[in-house]
Amino acid sequence: MNFVIKLSRPGYTQQYIRRLSTTKPTYGAKRRVVVTGIGAISPLGNNLKESWQRLLNCESAISKLSDAYKGLPCQVAAQIKKEELPLEQHLTKSDIKLMSPATQLSILATEEALRGAKLNTKDLSVEELERIGVCVGMGMFDLSEVYGAWQQLQRGYNRVSPFFVPRLLPNMACGHISMKYGLRGPNHSVSTACATGAHAIGDAMRFIRNGDADVMIAGSGESCIDPLSIAGFCRLRALSTSFNETPEKASRPFDKKRDGFVMGEGSAILILEELEYARKRNAPILAEILGYGLSGDAYHITSPSEDGTGATLAMQRAIKDAGVKPEEITYVNAHATSTPTGDRIEARAIQRVFGDHTANVRVSSTKGAHGHLLGSSGNLEAAFLIQGCYENKLPPSINVDELDESVQVRIVSKPEAWNEDGSKLRIALKNSFGFGGTNASLCISSYS
């Protein structure tokens, strides 16, 4: 059955007629999904290049918090350089009023990712724009926005901003990116706590693989470092409190003295494309997304099960979905947040997945350098994994002064070559786990 639909939107010079079919297109073979562009705003730098270089230099972006946090057990965080953000180059004053800080960061990261992918949406046809979607999430909205709005309400109803609710909604980054670039493909938001970024990339990959889109803008943004959030996580006993005077040492995944995570903020955006679409436009291809695995712990709201079943299942499912063998994987970019329990359990899960091959699998968590970006951690770390895959470099875990004896995996504590012989085949897993027992694992490889 066919329909004739007349469509128009502001910015188009004329209306056009398009014939749609209710029959979903079919594809003989599984569509391959590649990464063609990356953008990043992180505590390490306000672009991918600077962030990546500082990571390879084993620098820490964690610093002491201001006097506004006085009296809280945790006095450190990994904050972005807000005064250096090029907001006015890409956003109007009206945009900034409409958008939460996390959405603003996502817009900036998207701009960089599109430039890197050499994808100018202004040059595309209407039909092409309808095949480009957005899958950008947010793990947690800014609690200071809520508190500020409540204070305004005490002064009177009319003091509450009409943009208060739209600024809080987790899907608004998706909406604003879609509107800014005229993208009419899937518009899908993810909010799965600290697994948000990885889930967003995996979901976006499936949209392309299933034929729902040819290009997806995927990732997450997070900006919720404020006294109330820090206090809340302190009450959970989740944050580091032993390194307030030496903040650069506070985040130390897998180290024996780790005592909690350090909050970070930022955004990372990937441009995912169907392989043939990317080839036709001669796009740079950085890596390929091979597989995606999800699971639930079914155990506890904040703690993973001691046996690591959820993490194990996510990794196994990603490997199966990728169609590779465990022994072909040589690196795992761990979720490891620097908590005593979580790091140990993830290390055991890695051992369970790889068995005798574990000794050949190198593992690192870049959170030692940039802290834990909550919902934007999986996507930023995936960006670093992809950059390392492209350059044949493994990103390091810093601050591993004394490896916890319960962590029986091969930790990368300084930058090193992924393949010493320079061979091109490089396959890795990226893990992300969130409160509520939600788990995601991505299988990513070099493109060949």
For the record, the structure tokens of 375 come out as: 């919902």
Task: Indicate the SS3 state at residue 299.
Answer: coil
Q: Indicate which residue of 176, 188, 199, 335 is catalytic.
A: 335
Strands 215-222 and 132-137, by their bridges, are parallel
Determine contact, residues 114/120, Cβ cutoff 8 Å: yes
* Residue whose token pair is 């493909």: 185
Determine contact, residues 99/167, Cβ cutoff 8 Å: yes
For residue 441, which phi and psi values (nearest 5 degrees)?
A: -140, 135
Determine contact, residues 96/104, Cβ cutoff 8 Å: yes
Work out the burial of residue 149: count CB atoms within 10 Å of its CB; fewer than 13 is exposed, 13-18 middle, 19 or more buried.
middle
Q: Is 176 a catalytic residue?
A: no
Tell how far CA 186 is from the center of its chain: 19
Task: Indicate the SS3 state at residue 323.
Answer: coil
Q: Is 372 a catalytic residue?
A: yes
Task: Indicate the SS3 state at residue 69.
Answer: helix
Q: Indicate which residue of 174, 176, 372, 389 is catalytic.
A: 372
Determine contact, residues 262/78, Cβ cutoff 8 Å: yes
Q: Indicate which residue of 74, 135, 194, 224 is catalytic.
A: 194
Q: Is 194 a catalytic residue?
A: yes
3-state helix, strand, coil in the chain (%, to 5): 40, 20, 40
Determine contact, residues 18/7, Cβ cutoff 8 Å: yes
Catalytic amino acids? 194, 335, 372
